[in-house]
Every structure is written in structure tokens, then in C-alpha cells.
Amino acid sequence: MSWWENHFGNSTRGRIVAILRRGWRSVDEIATVLGLTDNAVRAHIASLERDGVVAATGERRDGSVGKPATLYGVAAKAQTMFSSAYAPALSAVIAELASRHSGKELESVLRGAGRRLAKPASGTFAERVGSAAALLTELGGDADLVKTEGGYEIQGHGCALGETVNCCAGTCCMVEQLLVEVTGGEVHEQCDRSQNPPQCAFRISE
């Protein structure tokens, strides 16, 4: 079952999102299409806005009197929710790269991708490590940060790139490089790929 079907199905919220995927619409226009009151639509829109699925995208004035109508659309960051192609497409690209390049060449490409994924962090080493753990969680890794005798360990419960890691174990070096860039420390990947999904683990020292 897709994310779309699981979260919306044929519900009123799902029908509103389906309308907005086809273009910006005002509350009045949505209400007319669905046969609902404006207030009912506003309540659903407010809920979808809280979930980050819908956002106000602009205004349109109809005539010269009264307030302009707010137009709504699918939020830019929500667009990826409607596609299930990203994980298999990434896995296919990395599998193709692996078939064409040596291990060192592939690792160089993956580490370059890790650098591109990294978000600059500032502050103390501990703060940068915290930012790195937060970034992994933001990417879907559900990561815990644990203080160790030699520094820190980021322990992931599941893996944001699990499908791709199952296809190419070297994918973990992309995340390792991301953590190097964010923390500025020494990072050693200790992931458990014997499980499905893989369980991430990265030891970090200053």
C-alpha cells in the first residue's frame, strides 16, 4: 500500500489533496467541487497545513471589492510523499554504478554524494555531533546519540537507506562521509547489515 493510500484513501482530505495536485485552488473552489461548506473545507485545509502537506501559495483577486482569495497547493516538501520511486531508483542507480566502476571508484562517488547531503553545523564538537544525529533522524534514520568513553556513537533504529544498503553495502560510506562533514571528527561505520532493515551505527571521535 502506498503512502497516499495509507494516509488518505478516498477520504475528504485525500480528495482535497487530489484537487490541489492539479493546481492551486481557493477554499471556495474546493468547496464547490466537493459539495461542502467553506468552513468544512477550511477545517480540512488547516489540518493538512499542520501536517505539512498543504500550504498557502498565493492570492487571487476576483473583482475589485473584498479581500483576495487565498490559493492553496501541495507543499513543496510534501511532493516526495506521493512517489514510491525514490528508493528503488536510487538502488538501481547505485547498482549500475557498482557494475561499471571499481570498489574505490564507487566509494569515491558515494563519499562525494555524502558531502553534498551534509548540512553545515557549528558550535562545539558535542553540538556538531548532536546536529549530525538530528540530520540522520530528519532523513528517516531514527537515530539515538550515545556518549562513549572515546567520544560518541550514533545508533540508528532501522536505516533511511535500507533498501539501497541491501543492494550495495558500500552505500554506508555515503552516510559515514556525511557525518565526517557535519561533525569535523573521525567517523567509523559499524553498521549491522545482517538484519533487515540494516541497523546503523557510527562511532565518532574528535
Distance, in Å, from the CA atom of 115 to the CA atom of 124, rounded to the nearest integer, reads 20
pLDDT of residue 62: 67
The predicted structure's pLDDT at residue 1: 47
pLDDT in the model for residue 136: 86
Which residues have C-beta within 8 Å of that of residue 44, sequence separation ≥ 6? Answer: 12, 13, 16
Triad 177, 91, 140: Cα angle to 5°: 60
Superfamily of domain covering 86-205: Trafficking protein particle complex subunit 3 (3.30.1380.20)
Residues in the chain predicted with pLDDT less than 70, given as ranges, are 1-9, 62-66
- What is the assigned CATH class of domain 3-82? mainly alpha
Give the predicted TM-score (pTM) of the model. 0.70
Q: How many CB atoms lie within 10 A of CB 187?
A: 25
**How far is Cα 61 from Cα 69, in angstroms, rounded to an integer?**
6
Domain ranges of the chain: 3-82, 86-205
Note the pLDDT of residue 109: 94
The Cβ of residue 65 has, within 10 Å, a number of other Cβ atoms equal to 6
Residue 74: closest CA among 25, 109, 38, 30: 25
